[in-house]
Amino acid sequence: MNNTRPIGVFDSGIGGLTVVKALRDLLPNENISYLGDTARVPYGPKSPETVQRYAIELAEMLMKDDAKALVVACNTVSSVALPTLTKKFPVPVIGVIEPGARAAVSATRNLHVGVIGTRGTIRSGAYEKALRAANSNVRVSSQACPLLVPLIEEGLLNDEITDRMILRYLEPLLKADIDTLVLGCTHYPLLAGAIGRVLKRQIMVVDSAQNCARAIENMLDEQSLRAAPMNNGQLRVALTDAADNFLNVARDALQLQFGEIEIRALS
């Protein structure tokens, strides 16, 4: 087995680069092939059947790169397509929801977890389900934060308007007395600084991207799929259509190093 085969990471767009960043930090020896479906972003409003079909297409493109594992760095896809992908592809498939939910259940002391995400993710109830599967006694308070993605994509990561918006979204969760907050959207780790500023008291913040990376590390160890320690991991980033401004925002904020973006047309 050639363990320098890449880890294939995909997302509906650019947000999944936060997972790539967490992977690079944790597993610098691994080669990573990232594919963002910028031609069809956002997936949130699309039907589960459509999202499943798109996810299979993206996974097939990464399998052509000889991916040794598939990482679904997208909450929408993770909430509807993991069983389909697991059945269809002969490599391990890992999403962002279950690792985040498990970490939150480990972190909470008062068994009251808050979840923030896009309207689609919150409406799907996917985190609530995963949190209760990890601990049936956990109480979950959820808050859709539809304006955070636009604010992030505009690069307003350290901005008083963004801080005000975050405060407005988090206030009901804080009043409800959560002690742990799950960032249930792959964009949100870019707001980790702002969220820390806004939270007035001690709340554990669970970053789904970091927990996803840890789950991948465990899986690679279990399946003896780790690249050799001398391998200098490479990152390749491909998109299905030209990137907009957000790619620069994410690259700068995450300090990710990668070469020219490859455009891989959907067939």
For the question of residue 212 being annotated catalytic, the response is: no
Nearer to its own copies, 180 or 186 (CB): 186
Regarding 164 and contact with its own copies (CB under 8 A), the answer is yes
- We find the least distance from the C-beta atom of residue 99 to its own copies, in angstroms, to be 29
Nearer to its own copies, 64 or 168 (CB): 168
- The reply on whether position 172 binds its own copies by CB under 8 A is no
Can you read off the two tokens belonging to residue 70? Answer: 């598939």
Quote the strand ranges of the chain, DSSP E. Answer: 7-11, 32-36, 69-72, 93-94, 112-117, 139-144, 180-183, 204-207, 235-239, 262-263
Contact assessment for residue 24 and residue 217, using Cβ atoms and an 8 Å cutoff: no
Q: What value does the CA radius of gyration of the chain take, rounded to a whole number of Å?
A: 18
From 53-61, 67-75, 162-170, 211-219, give the range in contact with its own copies by CB under 8 A: 162-170
Catalytic residue among 61, 97, 122, 185: 185
Can you name the residues that pair with 7 across neighbouring β-strands? 32, 69
Catalytic, 145? Answer no
Q: Rule CB under 8 A: is residue 244 a binding residue for its own copies?
A: yes
What letter represents residue 177's amino acid? D
- Cα–Cα distance, 218 to 215 (Å, whole number): 5
Q: Which residues, including other chains, have CB under 8 Å from residue 174's CB and lie 6 or more apart?
A: 199, 200, 201, 203
Residue list 132-151, contact with its own copies (CB under 8 A):
146-147, 150-151
206 touches its own copies by CB under 8 A: no
Among candidate residues 74, 94, 105, 249, the one labeled active-site is: 74
Interface with its own copies (CB under 8 A): 45, 119, 146-147, 150-151, 154, 156, 160-161, 164-165, 168, 241, 244-245
Q: State the catalytic residues.
A: 74, 185
